[in-house]
Amino acid sequence: MNLEMTLASFRTCIRDMEGYVSGEQPPAGKFIKLNTNENPYPPSPKVSLAIQEAAMRGLHLYPDPNATPFRLRAADLWGLTPDHFLCGNGSDDLLTIITRSFVGEGEKLRMPFPSYVLYRSLADLQNGFAEEIPFQPDFRLSPEFGAIQPKTKLIFLPNPNSPSGTRISKAELQALVSQLKCPIVIDEAYVDFATEDSIDLVREFSHVIITRTLSKSYALAGLRFGFAIAHPEVVRMLKKVKDSYNCDSLSIAAATAAIDDQAWLAENRSKIISTRSKMTERLRLAGFTVIDSEANFVWCTWPGRSLKPLYEHCKSQRVLVRYMNYAGWGEGLRISVGTDSQVDAALTILESSL
Ligand SMILES: *Cc1c(COP(=O)(O)O)cnc(C)c1O
């Protein structure tokens, strides 16, 4: 077979899809990096100790297939049972497992628009359809969001949303979910920076699955660990779809140590939230339209002005922010909340280009 024939052997949906492109990851240290919502602070010091201990215990054996130490600790923390938790290689792994579980060929995966771009790739991989329902201009859900079609098999709702940082209240979610005729994933990647979470909905509704990650609030994006919270019978089904050893011994030990250090999380959260409000004020003063954020980034728009040159100017000055242009919606800059001094330096450069 020549290369052409080999490539033609791929499933059509793989050949046709674009593939998810993540934010730029330049060589460490060269940029002030405010483009992928990483935490600017180091993780709890307990994490590297736990990794060293786990490495000393030996890596010749397979890890616990269900990340049991983590699930035991998590059950305590969130007042659920270990069987409510499913762990993954980052929460992206869980989103993949969940999509593969519910969305078949030709079926629909619903999501709001604009939101996390990966969801669309997950639908493409299934040879399904991404059904993007535009938010209202103020990032509230449109009334038809909960009115599903027969082919809609799953809904993804990031809450807080990316890129907007806005959040749908628990009361509103409760109303949505109680009417819903298909499973819904509430992607709580950023919820530790918000004022309210939705874990209670899992206790009440078997069709609600919550996903969380240690990448953002626990400052462990390089580790790859996330988890889903759902009814134990739902977890039991999802488990059939995951790789047997989707979390390694080091990440299980590290993630368990990380959630064990809630004092570290609380301090980190308050620093980020305080920088976020200063940043929001300053961007508004500079002339941007900035919607209140409940995440570790802010979404800046400027009606009537093109923002791509601003992104490029920042990049030339070694400041990376995320430029987004959503077809039919418009463009904006999504700027992650860094340390006070990173944000100060970045905004000084941004302001100088206005
Ligand atoms: C960052 C992010 C994730 C993925 O997190 P990982 O655990 O690093 O895979 C999931 N959902 C949203 C909305 C995110 O922004």
Angle between helices 118-125 and 91-102 (to 10 degrees): 40
Q: Rounded to 5 degrees, what are φ and ψ at 63?
A: -75, 170
CB 272 within 8 A of CB 337: yes
pLDDT of residue 193: 98
Using 50, 70 and 90 to split pLDDT, how confident is the model at 25?
Answer: confident
Measured in Å, residue 148 CA sits from the centre of ligand 1 at 25
Neighbours of 283 (CB within 10 A): 22
CA distance linking residue 19 with residue 25, whole number of Å: 17
Band (pLDDT 50/70/90 cuts) for residue 58 is confident
Is the pLDDT at 334 greater than 90, yes or no?
yes
Ligand 1, residue 162: give the atom nearest the CA: 13
**Is the CB–ligand 1 distance for residue 39 below 6 Å?**
no
Confidence bin at 68 (pLDDT 50/70/90): very high
For a substitution probing ligand 1, which of 89, 215, 223 has the most ligand atoms within 8 Å of its CB?
Answer: 215
Indicate if the pLDDT at residue 181 is higher than 90: yes
Residue 67's contacts (CB-CB under 8 Å, 6 or more residues apart) are 85, 87, 227, 247, 252, 255
Tell whether the model's pLDDT for residue 158 goes beyond 90. yes
Quote the CA–CA distance of 79 and 322 in Å, as a whole number: 37
Q: Place 297 in a pLDDT band, splitting at 50, 70 and 90.
A: very high
Residue showing tokens 């809904």: 155
Inter-residue contact 166 to 174 (CB < 8 Å): no
Query: What is residue 23's predicted lDDT score, i.e. its pLDDT?
Result: 76
**Ligand 1 contacts CB of residue 215 (under 6 A):** yes
pLDDT confidence band for 22 (50 / 70 / 90): confident
Q: Which atom of ligand 1 is nearest to the CA of 95?
A: 10
Tell me if 195 sits within 8 A of 168, measured CB to CB: no
Where would I find the H helices in the chain?
A: 3-8, 12-16, 45-57, 68-78, 91-102, 118-125, 170-179, 199-204, 232-239, 249-260, 262-286, 308-316, 340-352
When pLDDT is cut at 50, 70 and 90, the band that residue 28 belongs to is confident
Most ligand 1 atoms within 8 A of CB, residue of 37, 87, 187 to mutate: 187
Beta carbon of 94 within 6 Å of any ligand 1 atom: no
How many angstroms does the Cα of residue 118 sit away from the middle of ligand 1?
Answer: 9
Is the distance from CB of 70 to CB of 47 less than 8 angstroms? Answer: no
Query: Residue 27 — pLDDT band, cuts 50, 70, 90?
Result: confident
Q: How confident is the model at residue 24 (pLDDT cuts 50, 70, 90)?
A: confident
Q: What is the mean pLDDT of residues 286-314?
A: 97
**What would the mean pLDDT of 225-232 be, rounded to a whole number?**
98
For residue 133, give the nearest of 299, 279, 318, 328 by alpha carbon. Answer: 328
Pick the closest to residue 134 from 329, 332, 334, 330 (CA basis): 329
What is the model's pLDDT at position 30? 86
| Length reported for the chain | 354
Contact 195, 294 (CB under 8 A): yes
90 Cβ closer than 6 Å to some ligand 1 atom: yes
Calculate how far, in angstroms, residue 92's C-alpha sits from the geometric centre of ligand 1.
6
Q: What angle do CA 245, 248, 250 make, to 5 degrees?
A: 165
Residue 293 has pLDDT above 90, yes or no: yes
335 — pLDDT class (breaks 50, 70, 90):
very high
Interval 103-156: pLDDT, tens? 999 999 999 999 999 999 999 999 999 999 999 999 999 999 999 999 999 999
Q: Is 213 in the pocket of ligand 1 (CB under 6 A)?
A: yes
Q: Percent of the chain scored above 70 by pLDDT?
A: 100
Give the three-class secondary structure for 133.
strand
**Whether the CB of 116 sits within 6 Å of ligand 1:** yes
Asked if pLDDT for residue 29 goes beyond 80, the answer is no
Ligand 1 contact, 114 CB (< 6 A):
no
Band (44; pLDDT cuts 50, 70, 90): very high
Whether residue 310 has pLDDT greater than 80: yes
pLDDT band at 51 (very low <50, low <70, confident <90, very high): very high
pLDDT at residue 341, rounded to an integer: 97
What distance in Å separates the CA atoms of residue 259 and residue 44, rounded to the nearest whole number? 9
Is the minimum distance from the CB of 92 to ligand 1 under 6 angstroms? yes
Mean pLDDT, all residues of the chain: 96
Cα 57 to ligand 1 centre (Å): 30
- Among left, alpha and beta (phi > 0; psi -120 to 50; other), residue 252 is alpha
**164-202 burial: b if 16+ Cβ within 10 Å, else e:** bbbbbebeebeebbeebebbbbbbbbbbbbbeebbbebb
Q: What DSSP string runs through 228-278?
A: EE--HHHHHHHHTTS-TT-S-HHHHHHHHHHHH-HHHHHHHHHHHHHHHHH
Q: Ligand 1, residue 115: give the atom nearest the CA.
A: 13
